[in-house]
A and B are shown apart, each in its own frame.
Chain A
């Protein structure tokens, strides 16, 4: 049903730390390999060895240069479904294929109902929808719904593949609907932001921004070095230091 649940018991989602992401693509291929055999399998690749290669990927990493009066920085930016609270991708769906789970807030596509009208991809401002031309249906990030509750995985592996893979610990997972959860605390402490808040989709996923440089370098607010002015200069100083 494409009407949204009035309330979801949980708001499961991701938090992505742009201050720490080095753009290594670990989350990208970890996602690809899990999901290409997972709930929405396969994540088809068209012309995989040719000049017009185009595959289905649920997670993609961009690189930007952000330039302000404070200077420039390069920001690696992973982008995937934000599992919005107001996902228009769901409400526009004419068939009920797209839906938001009332239990955990995950936005999913029921492939068997999808007619491939692509309207959900038009309705998603974030580019989270991935059309599989091979089978003519829309696919998308499942938040690894087939991992996070999976009895066949060791309990501590029940996190999304991207979170498990991330070598710099830049990705976090949890219930953003529970203000006491570790992930909500992280968002509060770091001032996590919504993407395109003005559109009113209320994304569940949050982004932690690169921290201001002045804050970061506080521990080395070092005084300038002064040349040794004592008698005998540097070498004299050495001798005195050693004879102490």
Chain B
């Protein structure tokens, strides 16, 4: 699949944003973090900013973005529509939660309820995003039991690393959060490794034989319908060399998991401002790493239509 930047950025940013929002909603709602004005302002701005930027970016993938509003209508069948509905719906409790926390300085009562609802909305939205991919049968690497958990784990991971950086930045870091972020990062790493392992061993039942109905033996493409690349090949015929892919997997592991884990350990062991700097660097490294991960998520996904083109 073609790794379009608008979509890479969209899923990475909203993942982190919803992860952060969910944690803020949960922890704030249960009063586990202080209802500090600046913390609230920056935290909510970061979470909602990432979400908004991501959603905005996603419209860059649309042929007719001015009609994007239509996407809320088909929630009964379409995960994309559900994602649209969930993402917008989440803004309501998230907004109320933000107002309560930042403007009213209160994170209890209805604000807490809003926070919890925002968290629920965030989790729901991430689920719908994951399901968009997980539901696509033509793409075996996505249509697997690894995809939905991956979106949830990565949202939790990037959200918690961001939250940690935030708390550390305001010098209210907690070892629980650092530990949580570290564990989430390690969990993300493990999940990614497991996913790759699964994908690498994937025996896809759909082959050039089943695609053409020509059973047995080999089916080789000798001529494309048209000699130049068409929409299908540009959108879905993306190919990545194995060597290139291995290198990017290493980069993903270093930036998204290894470096953040080490920096989080450093943060765990050090004081402000060093812990804050390490935490911020961990978050930045991880977000860059996750962009690479998401690039690979697309690049390594093989659509069945490529079988028709001998790819």
B36 within 8 A of A: no
| Contact, CB under 8 Å: A117 / B206 | no
Number of A-B contacts (CB under 8 A): 206
CA distance A74 to B219 in the complex (A): 10
Report chain B residues within 8 Å CB of A66. Answer: 212, 214, 217-219
Report chain A residues within 8 Å CB of B71. Answer: 94-95, 115, 117
Pick the contact of B220 from A53, A56, A67, A210 — CB < 8 Å? A67
Chain A proximity mask over B280-309: 1 for CB below 8 Å, otherwise 0? 000000000000000000000001110011
Q: A107 CB to closest chain B CB, in angstroms?
A: 14
Chain A proximity mask over B203-228: 1 for CB below 8 Å, otherwise 0? 00110101111111111111111101
CA distance A173 to B220 in the complex (A): 28
B79 closest partner in A (C-beta): A92
| Contact, CB under 8 Å: A96 / B223 | no
Known contacts A96-B70, A96-B74, A115-B70; decide if A60 and B225 are in contact (CB<8 Å).
Answer: yes
B156 within 8 A of A: no
CA distance A201 to B217 in the complex (A): 24
**Would you mind naming 30 contact pairs between A and B with Cβ atoms under 8 Å apart?**
A1-B74, A2-B74, A53-B228, A54-B230, A54-B234, A57-B230, A62-B308, A64-B221, A66-B212, A92-B78, A93-B80, A94-B72, A94-B81, A95-B73, A96-B73, A114-B63, A115-B65, A115-B68, A116-B63, A117-B71, A118-B235, A119-B132, A126-B308, A133-B231, A135-B63, A194-B213, A197-B210, A201-B137, A207-B212, A209-B214
CA distance A210 to B138 in the complex (A): 26
Q: Number of contact residues on B: which range applies?
A: 35 or more
Pick the contact of A127 from B67, B79, B229, B305 — CB < 8 Å? B305
**Which of A4, A28, A131, A133 has most chain B Cβ within 10 Å?**
A131
A91 within 8 A of B: yes
CA distance A81 to B212 in the complex (A): 14
Q: A186 CB to closest chain B CB, in angstroms?
A: 15
A65 within 8 A of B: yes
Q: A18 CB to closest chain B CB, in angstroms?
A: 8
Report chain B residues within 8 Å CB of A194. Answer: 213
Chain B proximity mask over A66-93: 1 for CB below 8 Å, otherwise 0? 1111000011010100000000101111
A210 closest partner in B (C-beta): B214
Pick the contact of B224 from A52, A62, A116, A124 — CB < 8 Å? A62
B256 within 8 A of A: no
CA distance A66 to B228 in the complex (A): 23
B301 closest partner in A (C-beta): A122
A136 within 8 A of B: yes
Question: Taking beta carbons and an 8 Å cutoff, which residues of B are in contact with A?
Answer: 1, 61-65, 67-68, 70-74, 76-81, 84, 132, 135-139, 205-206, 208, 210-226, 228-232, 234-236, 303-305, 308-309
Pick the contact of B70 from A79, A94, A132, A195 — CB < 8 Å? A94
Pick the contact of A91 from B77, B84, B212, B235 — CB < 8 Å? B77
| Contact, CB under 8 Å: B213 / A195 | yes
B139 closest partner in A (C-beta): A122
Known contacts A64-B221, A123-B136; decide if A2 and B77 are in contact (CB<8 Å).
Answer: yes
Report chain B residues within 8 Å CB of A51. Answer: 228
A35 within 8 A of B: no
CA distance A117 to B68 in the complex (A): 9
CA distance A116 to B226 in the complex (A): 23
Known: A3-B76, A119-B132, A126-B305. 12 other contacts (CB 8 A): A60-B225, A62-B223, A62-B225, A64-B208, A64-B220, A65-B219, A93-B78, A115-B62, A116-B64, A118-B235, A127-B232, A199-B206
Report chain A residues within 8 Å CB of B70. Answer: 94-97, 113, 115
Q: Number of contact residues on A: which range applies?
A: 35 or more
A196 within 8 A of B: yes
Q: A129 CB to closest chain B CB, in angstroms?
A: 8
Report chain B residues within 8 Å CB of A123. Answer: 135-138
A179 within 8 A of B: no
A122 closest partner in B (C-beta): B136
Q: B310 CB to closest chain A CB, in angstroms?
A: 8
A194 closest partner in B (C-beta): B213
CA distance A118 to B132 in the complex (A): 12
A232 within 8 A of B: no
Chain B proximity mask over A195-216: 1 for CB below 8 Å, otherwise 0? 1111111000001011000000
Report chain A residues within 8 Å CB of B234. Answer: 54
Q: B218 CB to closest chain A CB, in angstroms?
A: 5
CA distance A194 to B212 in the complex (A): 9
CA distance A124 to B225 in the complex (A): 18
A125 within 8 A of B: yes
| Contact, CB under 8 Å: A75 / B231 | no
CA distance A194 to B215 in the complex (A): 12
| Contact, CB under 8 Å: B206 / A67 | no
A137 within 8 A of B: yes
Q: B237 CB to closest chain A CB, in angstroms?
A: 9
| Contact, CB under 8 Å: B219 / A64 | yes
* A-B pairs with lowest CB-CB distance, top 6: A116-B63, A136-B63, A68-B217, A60-B225, A127-B305, A94-B81
Pick the contact of B229 from A54, A90, A114 — CB < 8 Å? A54
